[in-house]
């Protein structure tokens, strides 16, 4: 999947000028990143004390929601089992793929009214995601119990259609009996290939009776048995991911006000780095914004000068920066 850098810098004469400067630095003479404006509405600022406290709370909430998003997506992969290659197409946000949602982000005014205080918006999101997390634990427990029972049942029935006895499935009337020229063949076709089978089975041999295929018994896969769970996972993945990106927006807003001051005047920008040029992009952004915080810029310069030296996990730059990592799945 994709990694994004969500950054902000103070408005120059206008926020558009800040945007233009960043675009020139990262795209004019090179291909360091693909950039989009990240639209954050005019939120209620509140007091400085509230912002400082909220900054810490949002950092914790960000980490918690990211964990829930990854748990839901990973559970989707576990439930779909053999259909893991299709997991990604089920992980949508508001009906679109994750990259599209992020790059075209619009604040959800209905869910998170901007007339509410920042703290209230944060609490609304926290409560909703905590409920999803609790529901996931309950559904996961029920699913694991069901899966265990089904596996035991399948073992008793000697497994899938490929390995089990078909004596209790096919009937006498399913066969052509006492024919000198015709025989009946039993074929197990993957559900995903059934349409192709219908189109091609008549050409597999010279002597196939046209339109003779008959679906005797579909093999119910785990996905069919757990359709309601898959639907729940899809809906709640979308809810959690949307909430996560709104928390990122809140963090950018709060940190930008704390760093750049009032009145609110900053441009939020979403960068999708070119993987081959990520180090160069850092250097360009550092040069562009080092006047905002000379001490942070000096630390970064030192780290760049010493091979093998990495910044701490709490990365700090002269500009506001948060990473959005859309690589949510850990296939083993």
* pLDDT value of position 135: 95
Chain centre to alpha carbon of residue 326: 5
* pLDDT value of position 197: 82
| Strand arrangement, sheet containing 320-325 | 33-37, 266-273, 3-10, 320-325
Q: In this structure, is residue 330 part of a structural domain?
A: no
- Considering 177, 193, 218, which residue would you say is the last residue of a domain? 218
**Is 53 in the same domain as 189?**
no
Tally of structural domains, the chain: 2
Q: Are 326 and 2 in contact (CB under 8 A)?
A: yes
pLDDT at 295 over 60: yes
Q: In this structure, is residue 43 part of a structural domain?
A: yes
Q: Containing domain of residue 30, as a range?
A: 3-150+224-325
- Strand residues in 255-327 grouped as ranges (E): 266-273, 320-325
pLDDT at 251 over 80: yes
Can you give the pTM of this predicted structure? 0.76
User: What are the start-end ranges of the H helices in the chain?
Assistant: 15-23, 48-80, 87-90, 98-103, 118-156, 194-200, 222-225, 227-260, 278-289, 294-305
Write out pLDDT tens, residues 23-68. 999 998 788 999 999 999 999 998 999 999 999 999 999 999 999 9
Which residue is it, tokens 């944060």?
A: 122
């Amino acid at each position: 999947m994709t990694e994004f850098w969500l950054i902000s810098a103070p408005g120059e004469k206008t926020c558009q000028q800040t945007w233009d400067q960043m675009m020139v630095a990262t795209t004019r003479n090179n291909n360091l990143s693909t950039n989009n404006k990240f639209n954050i509405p005019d939120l209620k600022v509140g007091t400085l004390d509230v912002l400082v406290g909220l900054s810490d709370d949002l950092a914790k909430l960000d980490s918690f929601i990211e964990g829930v998003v990854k748990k839901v997506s990973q559970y989707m992969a576990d439930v779909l089992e053999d259909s893991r290659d299709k997991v990604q197409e089920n992980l949508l946000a508001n009906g679109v793929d994750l990259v599209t949602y992020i790059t075209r982000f619009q604040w959800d005014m209905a869910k998170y009214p901007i007339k509410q205080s920042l703290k209230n918006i944060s609490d609304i999101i926290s409560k909703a995601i905590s409920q999803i997390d609790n529901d996931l634990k309950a559904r996961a427990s029920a699913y694991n119990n069901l899966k265990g029972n089904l596996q035991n049942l399948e073992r008793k029935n000697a497994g899938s259609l490929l390995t089990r006895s078909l004596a209790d499935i096919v009937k006498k009337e399913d066969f052509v009996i006492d024919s000198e020229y015709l025989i009946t063949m039993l074929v197990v076709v993957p559900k995903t290939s059934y349409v192709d089978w219908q189109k091609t089975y008549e050409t597999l041999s010279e002597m196939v009776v046209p339109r003779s295929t008959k679906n005797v018994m579909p093999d119910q896969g785990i996905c069919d048995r757990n359709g309601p769970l898959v639907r729940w996972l899809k809906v709640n993945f979308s809810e959690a991911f949307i909430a996560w990106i709104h928390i990122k927006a809140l963090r950018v807003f709060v940190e930008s006000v704390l760093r750049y001051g009032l009145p609110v005047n900053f441009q939020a920008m979403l960068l999708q780095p070119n993987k081959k040029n990520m180090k160069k992009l850092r250097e360009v952004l550092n040069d562009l914004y080092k006047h905002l915080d000379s001490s942070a810029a000096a630390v970064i310069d030192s780290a760049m000068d010493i091979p093998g030296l990495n910044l701490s996990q709490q990365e700090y730059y002269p500009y506001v920066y948060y990473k959005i990592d859309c690589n949510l799945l850990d296939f083993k």
